[in-house]
Amino acid sequence: MAAKRRNLFLYLTLACFLGLIAIFVVDGYLGVYDTLYIPSGEREQKIEAGDWSQWAEWGRAEIGWGEKALFRYEVDNRQFSTYSAEVKVSVWHSREKVRDLLSKQIVVDAFKKGELEWVVNTAELLPSGISSEQGYEYTVIIDRGEIERKIILYMYPLVTPPPPR
Amino acid sequence: MKLEYILIGFGILFCLAGIGYLAAVYVKYLSEAGKLVSLLVTVGMFTFLGKYFEGLGW
């Protein structure tokens, strides 16, 4: 009787362990996850799906005035069905839309990845009254269905060095 | 009997390593409810494991 009772605890332990794995697989792995690659000077910065809720709700891309910023947006569909959504990307400043960058339907098969790319030409964003020797910030908003991601796009000044004497 | 204990020890170590790996990699993808249930299940798991070893006379 005591051995049966002891074994019951062992089976319950195993059941909890399997339950834990099931929770991680179902709740943690399955789903739709997005990763954004943003420029940071000469480097490319990666913002993973798990980062959005932690620090990168306001991720920051940095690029010099006049340069072109390449963004890559990857959607990882970890579901048993095809995922489809409309992705809209726009540039904002002071809560006003400056420009639409992209509006595209993305269709990703089950357990596959889909990728979108777009380029922000900062030369076209230089507002009147601001010189390229001043830094300036815009917000890039990515809408994917009900999900909204925001990135700060900082244009740093490209200061021309004085001519040598 | 000693061999059994060694095997049980290895089993426990593998379980802990597995849970640790899964937790480190995937915990950031869990929803708040998922984290809470995982915590409860983990507490339950160690409680039952403790009860099992208590039954063994440890």
Q: What is the pLDDT of residues A82-113, one digit of tens each?
A: 999 999 999 999 989 999 999 999 999 999 99
CB atoms within 10 A of CB A100: 10
Give yes or no for a contact between B45 and A20, defined as CB atoms under 8 angstroms apart: yes
Measured between alpha carbons, how far is A13 from B42 in angstroms, rounded to an integer? 9
Statement: the pTM of the whole predicted model exceeds 0.80: no
On whether the CB atoms of residues B52 and A13 are closer than 8 A, the answer is yes
**Dist CA A16 CA A26 (whole Å):** 15
Residue keyed to tokens 């990666």: A46
What is the spatial distance between Cα A59 and Cα A105, in angstroms, rounded to a whole number?
24
- Asked if B49's CB is within 8 angstroms of A13's CB, the reply is yes
Contact A13 B45 (CB under 8 A): yes
Q: Do A24 and B44 touch (CB under 8 A)?
A: no
| pLDDT band (50, 70, 90) for residue A161 | low
The 3-state secondary structure of A62-120 reads: EEECCCEEEEEEEEEEECCCCEEEEEEEEEEECCEEEEEEEEEEEEECCCEEEEEEEEE
| Inter-CA distances, A97 with A83, A90, A94, A130, A131, Å | 28, 7, 8, 18, 21
SS3 call for B38: helix
pLDDT tens figures, B11-44: 989 988 987 887 887 787 888 899 999 999 999 9
- Other beta carbons within 10 angstroms of residue A69's beta carbon come to 20
Q: CA-to-CA distance for A25 and A87, rounded, in angstroms?
A: 27
Structural contact between residues A69 and A120, judged by C-beta atoms closer than 8 angstroms: yes
Determine the average pLDDT of the residues in A22-28: 88
Question: Which residue from A13, A16, A50 is facing B29, i.e. has the nearest CB?
Answer: A50
pLDDT value of position A53:
65
Backbone angles phi, psi at A159, to 5 degrees: -80, 125
Amino acid letter for position B44 = G
Interchain contact, B28 vs A24, CB within 8 Å: no
Q: Which of A72, A57, A154, A156 is nearest to A119 (CA)?
A: A72
In this complex, the residue of B22, B30, B52 whose CB is nearest that of residue A21 is B22
Q: Which two tokens stand for residue B41?
A: 């299940």
Q: Model ipTM?
A: 0.73
